[in-house]
Amino acid sequence: MDIIRAEQSTHGILHCFTEDWETAKAVLDCGYYISFSGIVSFKNAQDLRDVAKQVPLDRLLIETDSPYLAPVPYRGKTNEPKYVPYVAKALSEVYDKPVEEIARITSQNFENLLKAI
């Protein structure tokens, strides 16, 4: 957080997020997006899902973190970009929204971020 604040950048991504809500809120307050990987689909990641639910949809991103952290049902295998829909599925359950809506929102968020930098 010290580096993010020191840079005074209003655009960026906190990648492969696994921290608590306090950290998420601080990053969001700096204008950053928060990206979730396959970890959010793990059975033991309820705390992370609880944090994810508080992230505004317009600041949400998804990723694979390939070749690591493959989502369920591929956990323990080499991660691949084609598995990112499983991350979207996990977050669709968190937000109680159709997976297609999460995919559309996160795609739009990436476009918005790239236009801003």
For 87-112, the pLDDT digits (tens) are: 999 999 999 999 999 999 999 999 99
Contact, 65 vs 74, CB < 8 A?
no
Q: What pLDDT, in 10s, does the model give residues 7-29?
A: 666 778 999 999 999 999 999 99
Residue 16 region, left (φ>0) first, then alpha (ψ -120 to 50), else beta? left
Q: Compute the half-sphere exposure of residue 69: CA atoms within 13 Å on the CB side of its CA.
A: 19
pTM for this predicted structure: 0.92
Residue 6 binned pLDDT confidence (cut-offs 50, 70, 90):
low
Residues with Cβ within 8 Å of 64's Cβ and at least 6 positions away in sequence, in order, are 37, 38, 70, 79, 80, 81, 83, 84, 87
| pLDDT given for residue 117 in this prediction | 79
Distance, in Å, from the CA atom of 113 to the CA atom of 44, rounded to the nearest integer, reads 30
User: What topology does CATH give the domain 2-116?
Assistant: TIM Barrel (3.20.20)
Segment 40-44 mean pLDDT: 98
Q: Note the pLDDT tens digit of each residue in 43-59.
A: 999 999 999 999 999 99
Question: Which amino acid is residue 29, in one-letter code?
Answer: D
pLDDT (0 to 100) of residue 51: 98
